[in-house]
Amino acid sequence: MITNPRLLVQVENGYFDLATPFFATEFTMEHLGLPDALQKNIKEDYYNAGHMMYLHDQDRVSLHNQIASFIDRATQP
C-alpha cells in the first residue's frame, strides 16, 4: 500500500473460525505500520460462522454483498 495507495484489502473473519486465530488477523492489520491515511484501505468484516462462512445461509448472502461492494469500490476510477 505504501507503493500503491489505491490498493484495497478486505478481510473476512468468522467468529467461530478454528482454522485461523480470530484476533491474529486484527493484530496483524493493526501492526502493519501503515500511515493513518492508508488504514482506511483495509476493511474487516465479521460473520457468525466458522472458517467457511459461506456454508451459513445468512452469512453467505452478507459475504456476497460485501464482496460485490468491495469489487465496486476497488474498480472506481
Give the helix ranges, DSSP H, for the chain: 22-30, 36-39, 57-74
43 contacts 69 by C-beta, under 8 angstroms: no
Write out pLDDT tens, residues 41-58.
999 999 999 999 999 999
Percent of the chain that is helix, strand, coil (3-state, to 5)? 45, 15, 40
Write out pLDDT tens, residues 4-53.
999 999 999 999 999 988 789 999 999 999 999 999 999 999 999 999 99
Q: Which phi and psi (to 5°) does residue 38 adopt? A: -95, -15
pTM: 0.82
> Which residues on adjacent β-strands are paired with residue 43?
10
